Amino acid sequence: MIKHKAQRVAVFIDVQNMYYSAKNLYGDFVNFGQILNTAVAGRQLIRAFAYVIKAEIEAEKKFFEALERFGFEVKSKDLQIFPGGMKKGDWDVGIAMDAVILSEKVDVIVLVTGDGDYVPLVEYLKNTKGCRLEVIAFGKTTSSRLLDSCDEFTDLDKNLNKFLISPKKQKSSHVQSSA
């Protein structure tokens, strides 16, 4: 299917997944503004969500505000710390629920994550709801099952200058992840 401007698009960004992929692969920050522009691709943006885990660090408030300025609805939850020190913070179920609910109002769902846990969601939205499913992530850290299940994949590894911000070259006009 070709992208056209009449398509209604919803974007769901798993911020933690993208942050750690960029940090571990390249030691850089993610340019979420460029990712949103790429996801929308001239189509009608219905809603864009950025799912974050609050770590109670100074820089995160500014980061969350910057995401909102770009047009994201920021959904946050606290990091869970279990007895023994294990930490957990993910939005898999929340993202899946929001995508299913919004699937009635859009033509295209864009998931910005490489997490293979989303394969059942992708298959459900494609086969039951008739949505086009696009995935944007770093190819090096994206589940092969997720790649096989989506309609289109944008590999951020192929254009690092556009999608990453080096900590040494931070610019105020870009949103970087500080999660």
Q: What CATH number is attached to the domain comprising 42?
A: 3.40.50.1010
Q: Measure the CA–CA gap between 96 and 23, rounded to whole angstroms.
A: 25
Look up tokens 């105020």; give the residue. 172
* Per-residue model confidence (pLDDT) at position 57: 79
Asked, for residue 176, whether it belongs to a domain, the answer is no
Q: Measure the CA–CA gap between 29 and 169, rounded to whole angstroms.
A: 10
Q: Extract the runs of DSSP E, i.e. beta strands, from the chain.
A: 8-14, 29-30, 44-54, 73-78, 80-81, 87-88, 108-112, 132-137, 152-155, 164-165
Number of domains in the chain: 1
Asked, for residue 179, whether it belongs to a domain, the answer is no
* Per-residue model confidence (pLDDT) at position 172: 43
Asked, for residue 159, whether it belongs to a domain, the answer is yes
Q: Which domain holds residue 141?
A: 8-169
Look up tokens 């979420």; give the residue. 32
Look up tokens 């059942």; give the residue. 120
Asked, for residue 52, whether it belongs to a domain, the answer is yes
Q: Measure the CA–CA gap between 123 and 126, rounded to whole angstroms.
A: 5
Asked, for residue 21, whether it belongs to a domain, the answer is yes
Asked, for residue 174, whether it belongs to a domain, the answer is no
Asked, for residue 23, whether it belongs to a domain, the answer is yes
Give the CA angle between residues 34, 152, 20 to the nearest 5°.
50
Confirm if 49 and 113 have CB atoms less than 8 A apart.
Answer: no
* pTM, entire model: 0.89
Asked, for residue 178, whether it belongs to a domain, the answer is no
* Per-residue model confidence (pLDDT) at position 176: 52
**Residues lower than pLDDT 50 in the chain:** 171-174, 178
